[in-house]
Chains A and B, each alone.
Chain A
Amino acid sequence: MSFYLKKLLSLVITLFLISIVTFGVFQILPGDPAAIILGPDADPLQLEALRQSMNQDAPLLTRYTDWLGNALTGDLGESFRFHMPVSDLLLSRIPVTTSLALITLIFTLLIGLPLGLFIASHKGPLGKVISALSQLGIAIPSFWMGILLVLLFAVTLGLLPSSGYVAFADNPIGWLKSLLLPGLSIALGTCAVLIRYLKTAMLDELPKQYVQTARGKGLSEKMVVRKHIFKNALIPTVTILGMLVIDILGGSIITENVFNIPGLGNLIITAINSRDLPLIQALVLYLGTIVVVFNFIVDMLYSVIDPRIRVKGDN
């Protein structure tokens, strides 16, 4: 129990610290949000009115404590840029990015796991080719991959839309179609990372004695790989998967921009460019929470995968 409490406490402290840092950084950053939002043609009176609505004149500490107080009661304030509650904005964007993360994760696992297993146990030329391709997958930036995929699937074949997002509730098929290309363009990079990690982890296990024992018992090579090596190679794999998921859930800024998907990455750009402090604060808190929570989940998974970790923890 105290373990969970400790984790919770560290989450709260982390969030508190990052909120202070974000707030501080924004005070140093040049740029007047009202002037950016209204542009160079703004009427001075409009500018003044907008500035007042942002409550930017109050002293620094007051503004921070006001924000903190409201945030603790669940009120994240109103976005400067969008003139709507920050929580509504987040609630409308999180499902989009989560959908994209889900599709990406499925692609990553579907492609990454079998290929990783394959190249770890097959030393033939095919394994080498896949290994080389995975190197390429890491090297190619996802937005470029996205453009190539759009060229093939949207422009040449006309099978999938080139950009935009359809909500699941509006049209589940449209939803899937709008996410296939962006999901794949991110997944080709992440699955390449997964393949290489899995391969290395499995090769690390190969010379270990339990593998010899398993072989000695007369198990088929297939069984040895699946039941023994793979299980032990899962720990580093889960770690890297956890990091990949955190990365995707934080909104992939460039891919969302290329595919015009209104997710968090897209929102982060707009929020930073327009110095939308309430929105930035909320986004940073969300990202912080994701990181801490997923690291926690990964920790939990360790003990599921390897009961020895659980035993150590109990002692």
Chain B
Amino acid sequence: MRKLFALMMSCIIVFSVGCSSNAGGDQAAPNGTANEPVSGGIVRTTMPSEPDNLDPYLSAASDTDAVMNNVFEGLMRFDENGEILPQLATSYTISDDSLTYTFDIRTDVTFHNGDPMTIEDVLYSYKTLAGLNGMEILSSKFKLVKAIEKVDEDTLTFTLSEPSSAFLSTLVEPVVPADYMQQSSSPVGTGPFTFKSYVPGQKIVLDRNDTYYDTNRMAKIDQIEFRIMTDENSILMALKSGDLDIAQVLSMSVPALEKDFNITSFPQNMVQIFALNLDKKPFDDVRVRQAINYAIDKDLIIEGVVGGYGTKLYTNASPVMSFWYNDLSQNEPYPYNVEKAKALLAEAGYKDGFETTIKVPSNYQTHVDTAQVLADMLSKVGITLNIELIEWGQWLETVYTGGNYDTTLVGLSGKLEPHEVFLRYESTYPKNFYHLRSPEYDAILEQAITETDAPKRAALYKQAQQFLADEAVAVYIMDPHLILASKPNLKGYTPYPAPYFDATKLFYVGE
């Protein structure tokens, strides 16, 4: 019997080693001369969660967007600076009353299923989103669209019920083939990549669209694979063994990777917020909120929690959105100052501090670590911060939707459209979990949404940022950077201020 075991054992070992010629470190890149771009190749990267829905109209998760923006396109698109440009439209005009938008569409576009994109598809797509097809409205961003009408075979108009400076950016929503009902299982768009497969729990695979109409955005690689991976150790191992070509990693993995990989990092237009519930005492007192702001050393958090991979913030905006970002770094509203914090607390009647609780979503290690540092910093001004870890689903329900908390810590992803960011503080916004109710702030936003002059509008959003800083509505800590490790011969990764892993710009160079 023992001989039999030994035999089987050695069989397995020989078999597995013998067949290992193409295991692990297989080369995805095509060969070529050193440092010269070569076309083709497969890129394998990761995505951190299962897609919520492949149908773009039913999906809202940013991880899904980052992948599927390679497949779908709208009349407009955003570029790496967050600027809104025509994509499926060739040009557009806006009427003097800012209520009618007229678009000319491209006529050389085909869907991935081979059908040409016609004006009927565009009409169908946006009418579906706006609920003008006799169905329920799908996106509240389209609520102000009163009518969508065909002018001729390549022109259409949108009529709005009131002027909105945010309208153009809503047309980033994609155009899909009319009456095509299988988007959830086999998505069809017009983009530079076609959908190949989705294996739940494993990966999404996209192929280059060889008949893509826009030569400027034609993909260079043949295929991109997004592997659904959540475990940081697994990602690290997969990179090291050559099973991944490029991947987002945590700062703690950088030392293990920097020898063999190119490490790049970018602010990702996210705001890490230490939110204080304005409905609860003592956070209704602006002096208490300011004291807490003074008591927190953001530089130390950035250094200690994310290894320096973060951009310090002063208000609810990341410098990535340069056009409307209010740069307060020269005149920092609340530089770290324990004495000032204590003085303000004493003034507010909390000379001996107080005790409060922070609810932290337990699945985000960065926030959990930050909370520990916060507790330590606040203890120096007499505030006892009890950390309560809660599960993400519970956080969404009790804190985000229910607004039931004392303080919390979360990272909210920024938007291309400033209105969508600052809307979160409006009195009437259902998920205003900060509980800011300020007529002054609401008036600024009201003015901004109807202002069509871009610089004036930007000035208003800068005013909104100043307001949030002055009122110390929350502690805006940092924009945690997106850290990427890529093989040295894979180039061209381009960060965007919105969820988009742009696979068109990636290319390999010969080694």
Contact = CB atoms under 8 A, between A and B. Distances in A.
Contacts of A162: 24, 234, 237-238, 240-241, 243
B413 A35 contact: no
A38 B396 CA distance: 11
B440 interface: no
B412 A267 contact: no
Interface stretch (A7-15, A207-215, A255-263, A284-292): A255-263
Contacts of B262: none
B241 A35 contact: no
Contacts of B398: 30
B393 A45 contact: no
Contacts of A110: 5, 8-9, 12
Nearest to A256: B201
Interface stretch (A130-138, A152-160, A192-200): A152-160
Interface string A282-304: 00000000000000000000000
A147 to B, nearest CB: 6
B81 interface: no
Contacts of A266: 201
Contacts of B329: none
A176 B17 CA distance: 11
Nearest to A257: B231
Nearest to B62: A41
Nearest to A165: B202
B413 A41 contact: yes
Interface stretch (B29-37, B115-123, B132-140, B444-452): B132-140
**Tier of interface size on chain A:** 35 or more
A46 B52 CA distance: 12
A161 B138 CA distance: 43
B58 A50 contact: yes
B238 to A, nearest CB: 5
B28 interface: no
A31 B394 contact: yes
Interface string B379-399: 000000000000111101110
A37 interface: yes
A30 B393 contact: yes
B24 A45 contact: no
Contacts of B2: 114, 117
B60 A270 contact: no
A83 B398 CA distance: 26
Contacts of A46: 58, 60, 138-139
B61 interface: yes
Given A43-B139, A83-B184, A262 B199 contact: yes
A211 B138 CA distance: 78
Interface string A84-121: 10000100110000000000001000110110010000
A177 B23 contact: yes
Contact of B233 (A43, A258, A262): A258
Contacts of B492: none
Nearest to B393: A31
Nearest to B184: A83
Contacts of B141: 43
B297 to A, nearest CB: 27
B356 interface: no
A180 B11 CA distance: 13
Contacts of B201: 93, 262-263, 266-267, 270
Interface in B1-43: 1-2, 5-6, 8-9, 12, 15-17, 19-20, 23-25
A221 to B, nearest CB: 14
Contacts of A173: 19
- A50, A163, A262, most chain B CB atoms within 10 A: A163
A199 B185 CA distance: 53
Contacts of B242: 158
Contact of A40 (B200, B241, B396): B396
Contacts of A84: 185, 200
B20 A177 contact: yes
Contacts of A163: 227, 229, 234, 237-238, 243
Contact of A164 (B16, B202, B410, B412): B202
B230 interface: yes
Interface in B427-466: 430-431
Contact of B237 (A42, A154, A159, A180): A154
Given A162-B243, A164-B227, A260-B227, A30 B139 contact: no
B392 A273 contact: yes
Contacts of A273: 391-393
A76 interface: no
Most buried by B among A160, A257, A260: A260
B167 interface: no
B358 to A, nearest CB: 18
A32 B139 contact: no
A285 B437 CA distance: 49
A176 B136 CA distance: 49
B154 interface: no
Contacts of A50: 58
A158 B412 CA distance: 40
Contacts of A114: 2, 5-6
Interface string B353-366: 00000000000000
B23 A37 contact: no
A39 B241 contact: no
Nearest to B139: A43
B90 interface: no
A176 B13 CA distance: 11
A248 B142 CA distance: 50
A262 B1 CA distance: 35
A151 interface: yes
A233 interface: no
Nearest to A39: B61
A3 B240 CA distance: 55
A168 interface: no
A160 B243 contact: no
B279 interface: no
Contacts of A39: 52, 60-62
A83 B186 CA distance: 13
Nearest to A32: B397
A17 interface: no
Given A161-B243, A162-B24, 9 more contacts: A30-B397, A37-B52, A38-B61, A82-B200, A114-B6, A159-B17, A160-B20, A161-B241, A163-B234
22 contacts: A33-B393, A35-B400, A36-B393, A38-B52, A40-B410, A40-B431, A43-B138, A106-B12, A117-B2, A147-B237, A150-B237, A158-B20, A159-B16, A159-B17, A160-B23, A161-B241, A162-B234, A163-B229, A164-B202, A173-B19, A176-B16, A275-B393
Interface of A: 30-33, 35-46, 49-50, 81-84, 89, 92-93, 106, 110-111, 113-114, 117, 147, 150-151, 154-155, 158-165, 173, 176-177, 180, 226, 257-260, 262-263, 266-267, 270, 273-275
